[in-house]
Every structure is written in structure tokens, then in C-alpha cells.
Amino acid sequence: MTVSRWERGKALLNTAVLEAVAEALGMEPGDIYRHPDTPSADALLRDQSAEIRDQAISIIRAIRR
């Protein structure tokens, strides 16, 4: 299977292949579906300390109320 087949819609990525591609690119599988200019909250907080993650979650919960 080649990338060309995925691009042309002739083949679909399965989970195992998607995970391998993401690993090769140094990213999480879910990040493949997002534009680089709009990272997910998970991507933004991935390398942060537990304290920073907890603060971010508290802020998000306050905003949602």
C-alpha cells in the first residue's frame, strides 16, 4: 500500500497504519486530523506539568459554565 493510494482515495488507512504513520512523524494519531495551526488541547498540554494541566482544566470548566 502506498501513500498515493490514500491520496487518491483508492485505499483507507487502518488503525495500525495510522498509528505507525503518526509515530514516524513524531505525533499522536489524532493530531494527523488537525491543521497544525489549530492544535488540540491535548497537544497543547502534552508536555506540561500536572499543575499546569490541572489549571487549564479548571479554566476550561469555568468557561463552559
The C-alpha cell at 3 is 501513500
Question: Mean pLDDT in the chain?
Answer: 88
Alpha-carbon distance 11 to 25, whole Å?
Answer: 20
Of 12-16, 25-29, 46-50, the least confident: 12-16
The reported pLDDT for the residue numbered 1 is 60
**pTM (two decimals):** 0.54
Give backbone dihedrals phi and psi of 62, rounded to 5 degrees, phi first.
-65, -40
pLDDT at residue 23 tops 80: yes
The reported pLDDT for the residue numbered 52 is 95
Residue positions counted in the chain? 65
